[in-house]
Amino acid sequence: MKTLKGPAIFLAQFIGTEAPFDKLDTIAKWAADLGYVGVQMPTGGPDSLFDVETAAESQAYCDDIAGVLAQHGLQITELSTHLQGQLVAVHPAYDELFDGFAPEAVRGKPKERQAWAVHQVKAGARASQRLGLAAHATFSGALAWPYFYPWPQRPAGLVEEAFAELGRRWKPILDVFDECGVDACYEIHPGEDLHDGATFERFLDEVGGHPRANILYDPSHFVLQQLDYLDFIDRYHERIRAFHVKDAEFRPNGRSGVYGGYQGWVDRPGRFRSLGDGQVDFGAIFSKLAAYDYPGWAVLEWECALKHPEDGAREGAPFIRDHIIRVTPHAFDDFAGSGADAATNRRLLGL
């Protein structure tokens, strides 16, 4: 059995225009000084510090990036194409909102935007291979999400066709991940068509149980849905290949519940919190992942309605480190073993 790796931090919520968050070298030093040993690297957005298309084609570029991080005792855990994955499948109702995820040249052009996104995610697979990574973090996108609540009554076949199309779009991408020996890990997330176990199973059916279609597990999204995040691990542990350590709480009242009443994050009954400030039972999660021999990293994704991000990052490294279970190489009661062989076992059974 393997000991889970970490602590690591997803840089997406921290990269910015001010020091030390504006350059790879300085943000790496900041993360290392906090106690992190890995970084999950975003590849989309205007302030991205990583060019995924260059990385897909240039081993020298990948070696340079890895070298900068190694100087601070860090390594890349996974690359992320969350923003680009979202654009693989966009319902027209969200076209204008999601255009901001894409370069200006393809905004207002859904077909061109989708083609750009597909190219980017495939580049993410090739870049991951060059970096020697086993897993990649992404979103599935969504075609059926506007219809998630069954009113008005959905016409027969609507959801089935949405998932069939999602499968058609992702199957060639997953084949590239397979060629590269990298798992595509979909973050199970509201707003995506893959937002719970049932929808992941639908998708898996549409891509023929593709071996590279896997899961980025983030329990905070399950708290907000009131889904059993521990049972989820029992059901889908074989497909969990990435892990966001993120806390959340759900405190419903007589005014609003799971849907949130269109309120801001501070006022919603379900909201994300910094590690240790919410309701997630991380002791149980880390125990289950250790028992199921989870092969990857524990990566802080900081999102909190209240706490300053730098405080959340500072507290996150020791929180994760203290929850990682160093897996024992032997059984606790081996000291009492009496020693046996096949003949002894048969005698003990009276055979």
Q: What is the pLDDT along the chain (351 residues), one digit of tens a residue?
A: 789 999 999 999 999 999 999 999 999 999 999 999 999 999 987 778 999 999 999 999 999 999 999 999 999 999 999 999 999 999 999 999 999 999 999 999 999 999 999 999 999 999 999 999 999 999 999 999 999 999 999 999 999 999 999 999 999 999 999 999 999 999 999 999 999 999 999 999 999 999 999 999 999 999 999 999 999 999 999 999 999 999 999 999 999 999 999 999 999 999 999 999 999 999 999 999 999 999 999 999 999 999 999 999 999 999 999 999 998 877 666 656 767 788 988 988 999
Where do we find the tokens 């992941």? 200
| Structure letter (DSSP) for residue 196 | S
pTM of this structure: 0.95
Indicate the helix (H) or strand (E) that contains 271.
Answer: strand 270-273
Q: First CA to last CA across the chain, in angstroms?
A: 34
**CA gap 114, 203 in Å, rounded:** 19
Dihedral sign from CA coordinates of 39, 42, 43, 45: negative
d(CA 300, CA 40): 9
Q: Report the distance separating Cα 95 and Cα 117, nearest Å.
A: 14
